[in-house]
Amino acid sequence: MKRILFVIGVLALLLSFPCSANVSFQITGGLDSNPTLRSRIEYQVSALLTAVNRAAESNTAVNFSGIDIDDMASFTIAQTWENARFRTYDDEICTEALRLVYNGRLKGYEVRKIEVEMMPVDDTYKGNKHQEICLQFNLSGKITDMNFSMGDQYYAQLFREGEELKDLDRRLQIVHFVEQFRTAYNTKDINFLDAIFSDEALIITGKVIQRVNSDVRLRPEIQYTKQSKQQYIANLRRVFARNAYLNILFDDIKIMRHGSKPNFYGVTLIQHWNSSTYSDKGILFLVWDCSNEEEPKIHVRTWQPMETPENEVFTLSDIKL
């Protein structure tokens, strides 16, 4: 009986571990008309995820040998590795390829829904260890970027709104920009963040003022602090320096196009900030300028506590552009 219980325990332990190192990746749709490119992307993704899993298992750096990947994507993975490693849950992954269209021109492809488990370097890690990543490719199938994605539960709404307003491609671009923005925090990529904010960017942060010895339930009093881009980036450098890791999550995304300036979009998100020294949850609002689709800029970033009354949450109508 003891031997049977021991075997059952070992099997349960083995089944609880994520997949083996080798990963097989298959595209289920989106590139049916180009089987050569489909096979090339499938090979690149399989090779990259296998390299990632092997590095996670051996606690070493990711070996990109034999993988057609550019400097941006390899840098993002290497920077992530310094804060928290990850590995795939499955050794067989199937998903579709999405077209990346900018200004009516096909610029590349993207695959999403790649579930990974975060492997923190110590026990101070906070937040959800279950994440999803997405990979981008140029027209020849080279890996050009890797980002932590927000999950596809918001895509149905984005597709519906984009088709109704005839700006679906732009909305998908903005999701990609937002995912790059989030990943830059997680990888402490201060150069990317410095570049993505416009030089005249407005940064506003709110905090709830606590009342002492108040028996009356009052609406929260929120105090706002304004910063320039230069002040924000300087403060962010200090935040990056004193935290062993950052795990920033975005969800509940809402995208609104400006009525008279169609290249400007307001994006509202719920931000979950988890780091080795601090955690909070709040409402993040960003104003994106997509006039130059190759180099979008953020003109406004506001953060408000979750206690903020709904009619006081910043929107595009509060910003003079």
293, pLDDT greater than 60: yes
292, pLDDT greater than 50: yes
Same domain, 129 and 222: no
Same domain, 62 and 123: yes
Residue 178 lies in a domain: no
Same domain, 129 and 210: no
Same domain, 200 and 138: no
Summarize pLDDT for 161-181 with one digit per residue, the tens: 766 667 778 888 888 899 999
Same domain, 144 and 259: no
More confident residue, 68 or 72: 68
Q: Which residue has the tokens 């609104």?
A: 256
- Can you spell out the DSSP letters for 214-256? --S--PPEEEEEEE-HHHHHHHHHHHHHH-S-EEEEEEEEEEE
Residue 160 lies in a domain: no
CB neighbour list of residue 145: distance below 8 Å, 6 or more residues apart: 72, 73, 76, 135, 136, 180
Mean pLDDT of 54-67: 94
Residue among 68, 72, 71, 134 at smallest CA distance from 97:
134
Which of 132, 149, 166 is at the close of a domain?
149
Tokens of 145: 């970027």
Residue 104 lies in a domain: yes
Give the gyration radius of the chain's Cα atoms: 22
Q: How far apart are CA 50 and CA 63, in angstroms?
A: 10
The reported pLDDT for the residue numbered 5 is: 41
Residue 289, beta-bridge partner list: 264, 297
Residue 3 lies in a domain: no
74, pLDDT greater than 60: yes
Q: How far apart are CA 58 and CA 54, in angstroms?
A: 6
Which of 122, 149, 176 is at the close of a domain?
149
The reported pLDDT for the residue numbered 209 is: 62
Same domain, 120 and 196: no
Residue among 221, 275, 230, 212 at smallest CA distance from 249:
275
Longest CA–CA separation in the chain, Å:
75
Same domain, 201 and 131: no
Q: What's the number of CA atoms in the CB half-sphere (13 Å) around residue 245?
A: 19
Q: Give Cα 143 distance to the centre of its chain.
A: 17
Residue 162 lies in a domain: no
**Residue 211 belongs to domain with CATH number:** 3.10.450.50
Confidence bin at 272 (pLDDT 50/70/90): very high
DSSP state of 62: -
- Which domain, by its residues, includes 144? 18-149
Same domain, 141 and 212: no
More confident residue, 219 or 64: 64
Residue 155 lies in a domain: no
% the chain with pLDDT above 90:
52
The reported pLDDT for the residue numbered 20 is: 59
The reported pLDDT for the residue numbered 205 is: 86
The reported pLDDT for the residue numbered 201 is: 94
Helices (H), strands (E): how many in the chain? 7, 13
% the chain with pLDDT above 70:
83
More confident residue, 25 or 105: 25
Give the chain's mean pLDDT: 85
Same domain, 299 and 198: yes
The reported pLDDT for the residue numbered 147 is: 92
Same domain, 117 and 194: no
Residue 128 lies in a domain: yes
Same domain, 134 and 195: no
Q: How far apart are CA 180 and CA 167, in angstroms?
A: 20
9, pLDDT greater than 60: no
Tokens of 37: 């490119």
Residue 284, beta-bridge partner list: 269, 303
Q: How far apart are CA 175 and CA 73, in angstroms?
A: 17
Tokens of 278: 């601090």
Total number of domains in the chain: 2
Same domain, 142 and 200: no
Residue among 239, 235, 246 at smallest CA distance from 183:
246
Which of 149, 182, 210 is at the close of a domain?
149
Summarize pLDDT for 13-42 with one digit per residue, the tens: 334 444 558 999 999 998 989 999 999 999
Sign of torsion, CA 265 294 102 177? negative
Mean pLDDT of 108-135: 84
Q: Give Cα 91 distance to the centre of its chain.
A: 23
Which range, 32-46, 70-84, 262-276, has the best average confidence (pLDDT)? 32-46
Residue 56 lies in a domain: yes
